[in-house]
Amino acid sequence: MDSYSERLLPSWWLTLVLGLFLPAGFIIFLPLDPLVGLAAGAMMWAGAWGVLAIFSPTVSATAEGFRAGIARVEWRNVSHVEVVSKEEARRATGVDLDARAWLVIRPWIKTAVRVHIRDDDDPTPYWLVSSATPHRLAEVCRKYVEPV
């Protein structure tokens, strides 16, 4: 059967924005030495990107179940999976958000999937999970979800 795995790494534009650490470090350490300033800016940029990368969650769908970050749900507890478009995701993370939902979202990824939970013992109605390729993720998930 199919499987899917995706790491929610920082986007290219966030990497560029983090590049602002280069001139900041240069300006802060310029009185000491220009090379020290460049090195400090580069280390601050690499450190910030590294922290974001290390703490980036993984989203996966395998025969064992669906995993988003540290949480895992078995397929027997999933009723259905739907793709959340860019426009829908904005509302889904704002005015339409259910406070009981499990969220694994990143602001630099605009699309998502909504995994609906059917476990009576779990108060979580759904998981909202960012994905750069939500159609592919939903397609793989639908292969494992049993119709109700």
Mark which of 54, 71, 88 sits at the end of a domain: 54
Q: Are residues 44 and 63 in the same domain?
A: no
Q: What is the model's pLDDT at position 135?
A: 97
Q: Are residues 65 and 138 in the same domain?
A: yes
Structural domain count of the chain: 2
Q: What is the model's pLDDT at position 2?
A: 85
Q: What is the model's pLDDT at position 120?
A: 87
| 1 has pLDDT over 70 | no
Backbone φ and ψ of 132, nearest 5°: -75, -25
Q: What is the model's pLDDT at position 146?
A: 80
In a domain, 1, yes or no: no
C-alpha to C-alpha distances, 16 to 45, 46, 91, 148, nearest whole angstrom: 10, 12, 27, 46
pLDDT digits (tens, 9 = 90+) for 63-76: 999 999 999 999 99
Helices and strands: H and E segment counts in the chain? 5, 8
Comparing C-alpha atoms, which of 103, 7, 18, 6 is closest to residue 53?
7
pLDDT digits (tens, 9 = 90+) for 126-141: 999 999 999 999 999 9
Q: Are residues 41 and 80 in the same domain?
A: no
Average pLDDT, the chain: 94
Q: Are residues 90 and 41 in the same domain?
A: no
Q: Are residues 93 and 24 in the same domain?
A: no
Please tell me the distance from the alpha carbon of residue 131 to that of residue 83, in angstroms, as a whole number: 9
Q: What is the model's pLDDT at position 148?
A: 64
Percentage of the chain beyond pLDDT 90 is: 93
In a domain, 73, yes or no: yes
Q: Domain residues for 46?
A: 8-54
Q: What is the model's pLDDT at position 9?
A: 94
In a domain, 79, yes or no: yes
Element (H or E) spanning 112, and its range? strand 112-117
pLDDT digits (tens, 9 = 90+) for 73-109: 999 999 999 999 999 999 999 999 999 999 999 999 9
pTM: 0.85
